[in-house]
Amino acid sequence: MELIIVRHGIAETLGKRNEFSDEKRLLTAEGRSRMREIVKGLTKLGIEVDSVVSSPLARALETAEILAAGIGFNKKDIKTSENLSPGAACEKLFAEIKSRPGAESIVLVGHQPDLGILISKVIHGTGYASLELKKGSVCCVNVTETVPTLRGDLMWLLTPRQLRLLSKS
């Protein structure tokens, strides 16, 4: 199984527009534009997706919708999971992933530092070597074991800039 791990795009700052609620922060116009370019770069890599799972926070869900639209995945089939919310325990997300038998490629859209810790736990077994993902970064992890927990190899990690450059090639 492949996990395609995506950090949400550039989001609004807290303010009146989002009722000073972190959960309601949407992507900025620049964030939406850059995510569309990033998705074009991903399509050049030829990724195929069986499932898209997003944090329920507005900026992550909006990122997942842009990604789904760009890769031909039906937006109405995007699932949200509290296990991708900031501060959620990786073990619950691992159990949720394992409950999707037959899925070969799952996109997870979420937040830092949680995604970096998640990647570290899968590839290293601990969350101590957390990877830093910039907004819009995408990582691919090949899961080789699911019992007793997820274990795998880092296949690639691309920055937003690299993906935007790829979209123009």
pLDDT above 90: residue 19? no
Selection from 1, 52, 9 nearest residue 34 by Cα: 9
Contacts of 99 (CB under 8 A, 6+ apart): none
The CATH number linked to 127 is 3.40.50.1240
Q: Residue 134 belongs to what domain range?
A: 2-167
Confidence of residue 130 (pLDDT cuts 50, 70, 90): confident
Q: List the helix and strand counts (H, then E) for the chain.
A: 5, 6
8 Å CB contact between 41 and 28: no
Residue of higher predicted confidence among 100 and 145 = 145
On whether the CB atoms of residues 105 and 47 are closer than 8 A, the answer is yes
Strand partners of residue 80: 54
The residue ranking higher by pLDDT, 65 or 47, is 65
Confidence check: pLDDT of 117 > 70: yes
Q: Which positions ≥6 away from 78 have C-beta within 8 Å?
A: 52, 53, 54, 61, 64, 65, 68
pLDDT score of 22 more than 80: yes
The predicted model scores a pTM of 0.93
Coil, strand or helix at 89? coil
Contact 4, 51 (CB under 8 A): no
Structural domains of the chain, count: 1
